[in-house]
Each structure stands twice: as C-alpha cells, then as structure tokens.
Amino acid sequence: MRKHNFYAGPSTLPLPVLEELRDQMVDYDGKGLSLVETSHRSKEYDAVHNAALDGLRKHLELSDDYDVLLLGGGATLQFGMIPMNFLSEGEHADIVVSGSWAKKALDDMNAIAAANILFDGADSAYTTLPSPETVKPSSGSRYVHIASNETIGGLQWKSFPKTGDVPLFVDMSSDILSRKVDMGQFGLAFAGAQKNLGPAGVTVVIIRKDLIEQGRKGLPAYLSYRTHADKGSLYNTPPVFCIHALSLVMNWITDQGGLGAVEGTNDKKAALLYGMINENPDFFRCPVHPAHRSSMNVVFRLPTEDLESEFIKGAAAEGMVGLKGHRSVGGVRASLYNALPIESVETLTGYMKSFASGHGV
C-alpha cells in the first residue's frame, strides 16, 4: 500500500506518472532501449525536451517574452547564479528575508555584491510577511528577490509586490504550478523540481528575454543564463530522466483539468487542514499569521514537544510519513503538494481529531 506522503521534498509524485516511468524504464516507447541510455542529441530525446518545455509554457501561460531553461544544480545554484549574472562591482539588489530560503539567497547575494534588506522577519521569528504595497525597491537596485513560499516556515505570498521598473525575482521552488499566478509580473522565476514538478535533479528557470541580454558577460559558460538560452538548455547534458518525468507531470496536470482544477483541489486540502487546526485551538496551533499561511506547507504545534513526537510516531503507524517539522524549527509540518490526494489530508485530519480527543480535548 502506498503511504500518505507528507514529505517536504523530495515529495509525492502522481502515481500514474510513476507507473509510466516504470513501464518505460527498460524499453522507451518500443525503441529497444531506455531513455536514460539515449543520447540527448537524439530525436527521441528532443521530443521529450520539447514536451517538458511546452508543458511548462502551457500551464504557466507564459508569453513569448520569456525563455524557459532546464538546469542542474538545484534551486540553490540559482541563489548564486542570479547575483553573478545581474550584479557587477558596486551594484546592489534588494531582498525580503522571509525565512530559511530567503536567508540562503541573501548569503549568496552578499557573496557576490551588496544585498539591501527591505524586510526581515526575524522580529516575528519568521511568521509573517510584509504587505505587498510596502515593498518598494531601493534607489539603484538591480532587482528584488523574494521567496513565494517558505517551505520550512510555512509562509506564502498571496499577492506580490509591484516593483515597477526594477524586476521582481522569485523563488517558486515549493509552490510553482500549485495555483494560477500571472508570471508576467516577474523578471525571473525559478524552482527546483522536487516539490511540485518531478524528481530532484532539474531546476526550471523562467526568465524575461531582455534580462538575458542585460546579463553580465565573461562568466564561466555554465553559470551564464545566456549560454543556456542560446543553446535551448542543451549546452551540456541535461538531466534527461528528470526532464522526462517533468513532462509526464505536465501531462498529469492536463489530465486533472488543468492548473485551475489543481488549484481548486489544493485550496480544499489546505482548508481542511487549517480548519482542523482552528477548530481545536487548545491543542493545535499554527504560528503563522493567518493572512500568510501556506497552502503547500502547513506547520503546526501541539501543546508539548513530547506530544508532537507521539503524534508523529502514531501517524507513521497509520501510514502517514514525512510529518516531522524541519529540524531547525521543530513541530509538525504537512506538505500538501499537487500530487497529494485529498484522501491523505482527510486521513490526517481524522487522526488529528482522534489524537486530540484521546488527550482530553
């Protein structure tokens, strides 16, 4: 029996996608060899590569102003690649420090040039975000960096700052394609695949073409966006298996009825779980400001750490895995990515109810 998989990443993938990958593993499409044994310069792989790019473009509703790149190095490489490409000596960019992932981006920005912090959530222990209207770029800033969803803290921007002529760059690793978002408001968006898009190993970068042109010259080839844009993400060997899996996930979104339908289910899942937390305020507590609670990563606490351990252990015994909060913050975290069925959330809320009443609530 498959587990109810609440892992934050790598995380659950749609069962039909896993089954298709299994069926094609040894013999891809009747070709007599596996796709992972096939040259990335072959016409077989070419079709896979284009299917992945087309699927992303379709579901994200991207205009021709944007390029889509399929890179390695994880979302983490983007923390460094972005300032390398857009900041020269003496220049600076702005950042909203909303939690663990924005902090990592801040460190890498500072390694290349000067970062200017527009907001730091430290005072609230990273449980709230600024309201978008208050986020204004500083004078001379090259771009503004934000994380659309803080995977560890469980915070999510519900609408985005308007930064005018200064492009907005967004780390969408843990909520890309979980809801409809107008991508036209971003200069650059990136996401590691292993939360909503596929297995770990490929990172999607969506970048406005005019920004690629403005990018710094003279960087090592792999570190320059221009290289990958010029070569259609085939400058070097791409992670072919991950890209194939990603293309199947794009088809799966289509089969669900498109992104609108996926978003509808995600909203229901989040409402169920936050509903259970809110109905039992003496036992469950979500530390995140209600306006900024993530629909992807739901974090909550129980009255004591001992109860939290008991809760997580008991859940595992009932087939629910991945509920332990990140080691840096503790508590419980349930990740509700696209591929998590609503039945898994119902199983969790049922368990929460009986656990609470078993402890006198």
Ligand X SMILES: *Cc1c(COP(=O)(O)O)cnc(C)c1O
Residue number with CB closer to ligand X (101 or 300): 101
CB 175 within 8 A of CB 40: no
- Distant-in-sequence, close-in-space partners of 15: CB < 8 Å, separation ≥ 6: 2
| Residue 38 or 145 having the CB closest to ligand X | 145
Q: How many CB atoms lie within 10 A of CB 282?
A: 9
At closest approach, how far in Å is the CB of 300 from ligand X?
18
Q: How far is the CB of 246 from ligand X (least distance, A)?
A: 13
Gap between the Cα atoms of 210 and 214, Å rounded = 7
Q: Which is nearer to ligand X, 189 or 276 (CB)?
A: 189
Task: Report yes or no: 135 and 127 within 8 Å, Cβ to Cβ.
Answer: no
- Measured CA to CA, the distance from residue 118 to residue 140 in angstroms comes to 14
Quote the least distance from Cβ 82 to ligand X, whole Å.
Answer: 12
Q: Is 160:182 a contact under the CB 8 Å cutoff?
A: no
Query: What is the nearest approach in angstroms of ligand X to the Cβ of residue 41?
Result: 26
**Contact residues: ligand X, CB under 6 A:** 9, 74-76, 101, 147, 151, 171, 173-174, 192, 195
> How far is the C-alpha of 239 from the C-alpha of 333, rounded, in Å?
30
Q: Cβ-closest residue to ligand X? A: 74
**Pick 106 or 356: Cβ nearer ligand X:** 106
Query: Smallest gap, in angstroms, from Cβ of residue 146 to ligand X?
Result: 10
Catalytic positions are 101, 171, 195
Q: Which of 170/277 has CB closer to ligand X?
A: 170
Who contacts 307 (Cβ-Cβ below 8 Å, separation ≥6)?
Answer: 359
| 297-311: burial string, b at 16+ Cβ within 10 Å, e else | bbbbbbeeeebbeeb
User: Left if phi > 0, otherwise alpha if psi is -120 to 50, otherwise beta: which for 181?
Assistant: beta
